Structure 1
């Protein structure tokens, strides 16, 4: 399965000089649910619904880092800690989204770096993520941590 290594990105976003000025990236918790009232278009696939936000943030293994421009959410990374009875915990990067007006400014890199640090702090041995073969933007982002993609097959079942 595709994995992000424990190392830092090949070159940090700060060194490249393309990080948007004034963007704050932070991990959020249940007490921060109100920030979802100010989300820029394109950050999520669909508008976040309060009940879903509350349920997501209430789960101890669910993590979310948001990027803020003032009080406006302009980026998000959602992740899940998978705990296993037979191996170390893994961090699964579930979603990465940045508002169109904020793309290509190092925001996604900073959010993923923050999430990887949180995964390490919570005892995860590795991180994995999947994306579509033709999603070049996502693949470029993930290559900062792992040059080669893993062979991966996914099945989706309706419930």
Structure 2
């Protein structure tokens, strides 16, 4: 098995019938993917096993008037058939590299406290856990 990564760019189109289960939370809508990739500062890396998507990492660049440019890692997903093979680690590291190339100096993300796999991954990558509250709003 050879896993390859691809930095998605505006105009990239994929046959999303070739997505392994559990990579994304919900089905992909081509128009949403197109809008996401067209938005400046929206980044996505996909992991492929041959032609099949087996991982994804999506992130957004935040620019501030009073802080360094930062990367918010919004989603990391790996197919249930490809867990514990280093794919998520490789994708997040590749995302950090891409973000540095684009001028980011910090990165942050959030995950559920009981998501042991994700917490282990982020600690392994050198992340420092912060205590914070999460609020969600219906718009």
How many residues are aligned here?
A: 139
1:117 aligns with 2:133: no
1:63-102 to structure 2, matched below 5 A, reads 63-102=43-82
Check the 8 A contact 1:26/1:114 in 2, yes or no.
no
1:46 aligns with 2:4: no
Q: What does residue 133 of structure 2 align with?
A: 153
Output the TM-score relative to the length of structure 2.
Answer: 0.95
- Aligned-residue RMSD, C-alpha: 1.2
Q: 1:149 to 1:43 in 2, by over 3 A?
A: same
Q: What does residue 117 of structure 2 align with?
A: 137
1:19-34 to structure 2, matched below 5 A, reads 21-34=1-14
Q: 1:37 to 1:58 in 2, by over 3 A?
A: farther
Output the TM-score relative to the length of structure 1.
Answer: 0.83
Check the 8 A contact 2:89/2:125 in 1, yes or no.
no
Runs of at least 5 residues in structure 2 that lack an aligned partner in the other structure: none
Which of 1 and 2 has higher RCO (CA within 8 Å, sep 6+)? Answer: 1
Check the 8 A contact 1:35/1:71 in 2, yes or no.
no
Deviation at 1:34, TM superposition (A): 2.1
Per-residue deviation, residues 81-102 of structure 1 (Å, max 9, x unmatched): 0011112110000000001000
Deviation at 1:67, TM superposition (A): 0.3
